[in-house]
Amino acid sequence: MNVVLLLIVVLPLLAIAVGLVVGRRVTQLVTGLSGIATFGLAMALIPGVGGHEIGHRVSAIGILRADSLSVVFVLATSFLYAATAIYSVGYLAAEARLAERLGGDEAAEFARYSRRFYVGMNIFAWSMLCAPLVNGLALLWVAIEITTVVSALLVAIDNTEGATEAAWKYVLIASSGLGIALLATIVMYYAGAQAMGQSYDLAFDPLIQSAHDLPATPVRLAFVLAVVGFGTKVGLFPVHTWLPDAHAEAPTPVSALLSGSLLAVSFYAILRFYQVALARLGPAFPQNVLLVFGVLSLLLAALYVIDQNDIKRLLAYSSVEHMGILAIGVSFGAPLALTGVLLHVLAHAAAKGNAFMGAGVLVRAYGTKSLTTIRGGLDRLPWSGPLFLIAILALSAFPPFGIFRSEFEIVAGGLQASRHTGAVILVALVTLAFMGLGLATTRILFHSSHPDSSTHPDDIPAHDDDGQAVDVRATRPRTTLVPPHNSNNPDTDTVLSGVAAATATSVRVTSARGLFAAHPAGARQPGERVSAAADDPNERLVDEMARTSSGRGEPSIWMVIPPVVGVLILLVLGVHPPAALVELLEHGAALLVGGAQ
Amino acid sequence: MLDVTLTHLATLGSSAAASTAPIQTGSAVASTMHVVAATGVAVVPTVFEGAANTVAVIVLLLEFMMLRTALFRAQIRLYAFQSLAVSVLAVVVAAGRDIPELYVLAVVSLLLKVIIVPRVMLRFLRDSRAEIAGSGALGVASEIILALVVAGFGFFTVGALGIQSPVLPTAALGLSFAVVLVSFVLMIVRRDVVSQAVGFFSLENGVSLASLVVAAGLPLILEVAFLFDLLVAVVVFGVLIRVHQTRSSSLSTVSLNRLRG
């Protein structure tokens, strides 16, 4: 088993190395293989770790260690790693074809972009796989800090105004949060030093075993600092503010990884502190802290989901909601609820990955993220439309999908533990969030409110500088065309004052990326916007996508395969999870009840 | 106004530094009173504790100076000085607690945080013609008062928790939390990328301070891993500052207001 651990950590490193030296096609292949192999290896860990007594662990090279709790998070991450690696092939396909056709500088620019993308994605996945597998709070912090810096660059990779802003907010807020988390680690070190002597390495097992001898106040302080610090990365209220921006502006495969995996891995860090706090302080204090953060996050997310106009932000707030559910589930403390929490981690990774991948196809097909503009998705996208619908239903905890089972277990566990108020709040807020998700999805998939909206690619709306979708068929200028920060610029106002200008503005279709962001919007001259219409690279990209789209409008088969697999996994998790997995989840839950060291 | 606030600052500083002197008079300041109250006996602080607390006060004072400095380069220089103080503290702790590993940490910290990080930051700024940070969200005086309140809150809250051990300079732990909180003030009230980045780096200095005070025995390899993580973060901050600068032709964050809701 220790070879498996080692391979999980080494394979993505190989993919990184390959990505640095060879071209895109080989890198795509190697990344996909690395993702699939990692997922396979993670599945091999299920019987290897869960099939023994509670608390069984495997370790390798001194710093790697996996118990049933960590394997759950490795499974979630490795599945999304594989899924997004395959999805990325389709995600970059249209631009790759265009770049090949255009050749020259643009081909070189795209080659650079795709190298950065794949190397970044592999490092990101690697760091998220390392985080649950390293042995010790200090190494865990180091791994999570690496996820931050890499993912910040990935958020910024599209080099748009929105991406730059999101990346800056993300790196500043998340790094500061991790500063607090480091403080938590240090205070925990201090607490441990009182029992284990001045020099030790914060490994999990000795720390939990000697938890009874630790001084209470530093453990309490460390736990609260950890919830706030790592909670920043989890997206808990009130330190969630980077999350919707980063999820919305990152390339879709990165959004899927951020949402399904990064948030969960950060939650894993909180769970490790929770284990120590539970062993020392008893259940009341750590559970109440998590309950407060969980309920507030869920409340905020449910309200924002209802009034949301951006499909990716909608899903981002849904992530905040689900992280709130995890926190509340842990706060219930019952073994059933904790099993539900761990199942929720897996099911949420599959469902949210699917939802983001589906949203990515919708955004690609309609050229906008605006929920008011996307219409008739089911007609236009014969595969991705229904798959997105299924993902949303799964996220809303509909049977027979995995999240239904996990949320059912969490609520049942809450009732079992006589946490009636918490359970009622959970059900009420989840229902509220479902309403928001349901309404938005119904609008974009079933309504076709623009009678004249054919599926011709010419109808793809452009974007103004502000990232707001601009419907090019609108008959009157919209006030939102004028970006607030440009409103004192007469040139811009003039340019943007009419529909024609709106068409010509076409700064970028959301799906266009680095290749076409060679000249940043801020540096573009107003006059250039009008004249750029004829050879606007974005329009060429749209044409290219229309020309090469397969089937009845699916941009690429590679963007459909991973969600199909995701749905199958959600069904398996919901209908009849394999016995080995159930055993693993129960063992993991037992670790959080304090039943085993 | 500034003079008044600086006097406040000096008072705060001396209150912590006072613990270096034998406690004989009735004018024992709050922090020392706390030690007395918690332990029940008035202990005479050791030279090590006095030195550690003094360096911690210097780190906090430098944090306040960053808050009032308007020039980017001056801010980065202050950060270098602050890092130097933290490196000196590593030497003090190494000598006081007899942990030779910390000498290595002091050297690594000196190289990274006093030399490399400021140089990297200055290099990123070389192309920028902007010298002076744009106005903060508050005036300097209000900023300092706010920071004083926040620093006092951090200092006394940590004091009130009563975390103590024979080898722990309690005042320095409170001061490190104060540094962290003031660095948050710096990040929040300043509206330019350089100040915000320097705010984050100085937050890390505050955490290093806490780490030296309460977790001196932390294995060297982990300390160095933390430092290299910081270096990577600095590079990422630098890259994003560059991207932002190219995009908006300024270092101000005022234009970063589009993503809402």
Query: Is this prediction's ipTM beyond 0.90?
Result: no
pLDDT higher than threshold 80 for residue A561: yes
Angle at A588 between CA A582 and CA A589, to 5 degrees: 90
A436 CB neighbour count, 10 Å cutoff? 22
B203 and A189 in contact by Cβ < 8 A?
Answer: no
User: Cα–Cα distance between A534 and A153 in angstroms, integer?
Assistant: 32
Predicted TM-score (pTM) of the model is 0.85
CB A403 within 8 A of CB A347: yes
- The SS3 assignment for A60 reads strand
Q: Which residues of B touch A309 (CB under 8 A)?
A: 261
B204 and A467 in contact by Cβ < 8 A?
Answer: no
pLDDT higher than threshold 50 for residue A550: no
More confident residue, A213 or A501: A213
* Confidence band, pLDDT 50/70/90 cuts, at residue A477: very low
pLDDT digits (tens, 9 = 90+) for A164-212: 899 999 999 999 999 999 999 999 998 998 888 877 888 888 899 888 8
User: Cα–Cα distance between A297 and A408 in angstroms, integer?
Assistant: 20
A171 and B219 in contact by Cβ < 8 A?
Answer: no
pLDDT higher than threshold 60 for residue A582: yes
Of the partner residues A183, A189, A466, the one whose CB lies closest to the CB of residue B218: A189
User: Cα–Cα distance between A148 and A172 in angstroms, integer?
Assistant: 10
* Confidence band, pLDDT 50/70/90 cuts, at residue A541: low
In chain A, positions 497-536, which contact chain B (CB-CB < 8 Å)?
520-523
Q: What is the pLDDT of residue B18?
A: 41
Q: What is the pLDDT of residue A370?
A: 86
pLDDT higher than threshold 90 for residue A578: yes
pLDDT higher than threshold 60 for residue A140: yes
Q: What is the pLDDT of residue A545?
A: 59
Q: What is the pLDDT of residue A594?
A: 66
Q: Is A485 on the interface with B (CB under 8 A)?
A: yes
Q: Is A375 left (phi over 0), alpha (psi -120 to 50) or beta?
A: beta
DSSP string, A191-246: HHHHHH-S-----HHHHHHTGGGS-HHHHHHHHHHHHHHHHHHHT-TTS-THHHHH
Q: What is the pLDDT of residue A340?
A: 95
Q: Which residues of B touch A158 (CB under 8 A)?
A: none
pLDDT higher than threshold 60 for residue A547: no
Rounded to a whole number, what is the distance in Å from the CA of A372 to chain B's nearest CA? 15
Q: Report which of A296, A312, A446, A467 is spatially closest to residue A378, judged by C-alpha positions.
A: A446
Tokens of B198: 């320097």
pLDDT digits (tens, 9 = 90+) for A374-419: 888 888 888 889 999 999 999 999 989 999 999 999 999 999 999 9
Residues 6+ positions from A563 with CB-CB distance below 8 Å = A83, A353, A354, A357, A358, A384, A387, A388, A391
Chain A residue with the nearest C-alpha to that of B98? A198
Q: What is the pLDDT of residue B224?
A: 83
Interface-testing mutation among A198, A202, A232, A466, with chain B (most B C-beta atoms within 10 A)? A198
Q: Please state the rounded mean pLDDT for residues A282-294.
A: 94
* Confidence band, pLDDT 50/70/90 cuts, at residue A292: very high
pLDDT tens digits for chain B (261 residues)? Answer: 444 444 444 444 444 444 433 433 334 344 444 444 444 455 666 788 888 889 999 999 999 999 888 888 888 999 999 999 999 999 988 888 888 888 999 999 999 999 998 998 888 787 777 667 666 778 888 889 999 999 999 999 988 887 777 777 778 889 999 999 999 999 999 888 888 889 999 999 999 999 888 888 888 878 888 888 888 888 888 888 888 888 877 777 777 877 777
B259 and A245 in contact by Cβ < 8 A?
Answer: yes
Rounded to a whole number, what is the distance in Å from the CA of A199 to chain B's nearest CA? 5
Rounded to a whole number, what is the distance in Å from the CA of B224 to chain A's nearest CA? 11
pLDDT higher than threshold 50 for residue A121: yes
What's chain A's average pLDDT? 82
Q: Report which of A318, A265, A357 is spatially closest to residue A75, judged by C-alpha positions.
A: A265
Task: Locate all alpha helices (DSSP H) within A402-557, ordered by sequence.
Answer: 402-416, 420-445, 490-495, 499-505, 526-531, 537-548
Report the C-alpha dihedral over residues A34, A36, A41, A46, rounded to 10 degrees: 150
* Confidence band, pLDDT 50/70/90 cuts, at residue A123: very high
Chain A residue with the nearest C-alpha to that of B232? A149
pLDDT higher than threshold 90 for residue A496: no
Q: What is the pLDDT of residue B230?
A: 84
pLDDT higher than threshold 70 for residue A495: no
In chain A, positions 168-197, which contact chain B (CB-CB < 8 Å)?
168-169, 171-172, 175-176, 179-180, 182-183, 186-187, 189-190, 193-194, 197
Q: Which residues of B touch A175 (CB under 8 A)?
A: 200, 233, 237
* Confidence band, pLDDT 50/70/90 cuts, at residue A486: very low
Q: Which residues of B touch A202 (CB under 8 A)?
A: 218, 222
Phi, psi of A421 (to 5 degrees): -60, -45
DSSP string, A12-40: HHHHHHHHHHS-HHHHHHHHHHHHHHHHH
- The SS3 assignment for A64 reads strand
Of the partner residues B99, B222, B229, the one whose CB lies closest to the CB of residue A201: B222
Of the partner residues A179, A218, A244, the one whose CB lies closest to the CB of residue B203: A179
Q: Report which of A314, A171, A306, A162 is spatially closest to residue B259, judged by C-alpha positions.
A: A162
Of the partner residues A164, A202, A215, the one whose CB lies closest to the CB of residue B244: A164
A199 and B217 in contact by Cβ < 8 A?
Answer: yes
Listed range (A480-489, A574-583, B16-25, B75-84) with the worst mean pLDDT: A480-489
Phi, psi of A472 (to 5 degrees): -70, -15
